[in-house]
Amino acid sequence: MNSQPEIVPEPSIESAKKAATIVYALQAASFLLAVTFIAAIIVNYVKKDDVADTWVASHFRWQMRTFWFALLWSFIGIVTLMLGIGWFIMMGTAVWVIYRIAKGWLALSDDKAMYIED
């Protein structure tokens, strides 16, 4: 029996980029079919360990924060519909999500991290 430790290959950057691209595409598709936003966050959590310790991990964090903050602000928008400000909150949230998808996807295509992680 071989007693040498098993060598685990380093995660493939191309595979990590492909996963992040899929998530950005699912997030963008959520404007046509909302359930794809949920599919995107599921992919983020399933693939999170695969992209750990790569610069692509910053994109996953960016995408997850986009989902959770969009969910929070959408909830606040729905709750405040009766006050007349809910539509403004929901529209602002939609614009913010579009901005986050565009900024992230462009940075990913340029092989740039979203920010430096601690």
pLDDT at 7: 45
Residues 2-35 pLDDT 10s: 555 554 445 588 889 999 999 999 999 999 999 9
Give 11's DSSP letter.
P
- The answer on pLDDT for 47 being more than 60 is yes
- The answer on pLDDT for 71 being more than 90 is yes
- Domain ranges across the chain: 13-109
Start-to-end C-alpha separation, the chain:
41
